[in-house]
């Protein structure tokens, strides 16, 4: 049930932010063309679901920690 609640909340937030916001002519310069902001956002969202939040930061910290523990 929590997954369904998350999906409904996400769709509601997307609609209220993007659809309603982009329907106003004053925001058209920031909303179009859609491919400049939607495709990178979709890529980030897919990696967030696959890898979890702050995945790249964890990888970077692990690399720093491993280089500190193995001085050359």
pLDDT tens digit sequence for 1-51: 677 898 899 889 989 998 899 999 998 998 889 889 889 989 998 998 899
Domain co-membership, 26 together with 50: no
> Are 24 and 45 in the same domain?
no
The domain in which residue 26 lies consists of 1-31
**Do 42 and 26 sit in the same domain of this protein?**
no
Q: Confirm whether pTM is higher than 0.75.
A: no
Q: How many domains does the chain have?
A: 2
Q: In this structure, are 70 and 38 located in the same domain?
A: yes
In angstroms, rounded to a whole number, what is the distance separating the alpha carbons of residues 39 and 51? 18
Alpha-carbon distance of 27 to 66, in angstroms, equals 47
Residue 16 DSSP code: I
């Amino acid at each position: 049930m929590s997954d369904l609640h998350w999906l409904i909340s996400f769709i509601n937030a997307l609609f209220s932010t993007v659809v309603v916001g982009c329907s106003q002519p004053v925001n058209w310069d920031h909303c179009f063309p859609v491919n400049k902001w939607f495709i990178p956002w979709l890529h980030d969202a897919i990696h967030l679901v696959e890898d979890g939040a702050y995945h790249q930061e964890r990888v970077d910290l692990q690399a720093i920690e491993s280089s500190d523990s193995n001085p050359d």
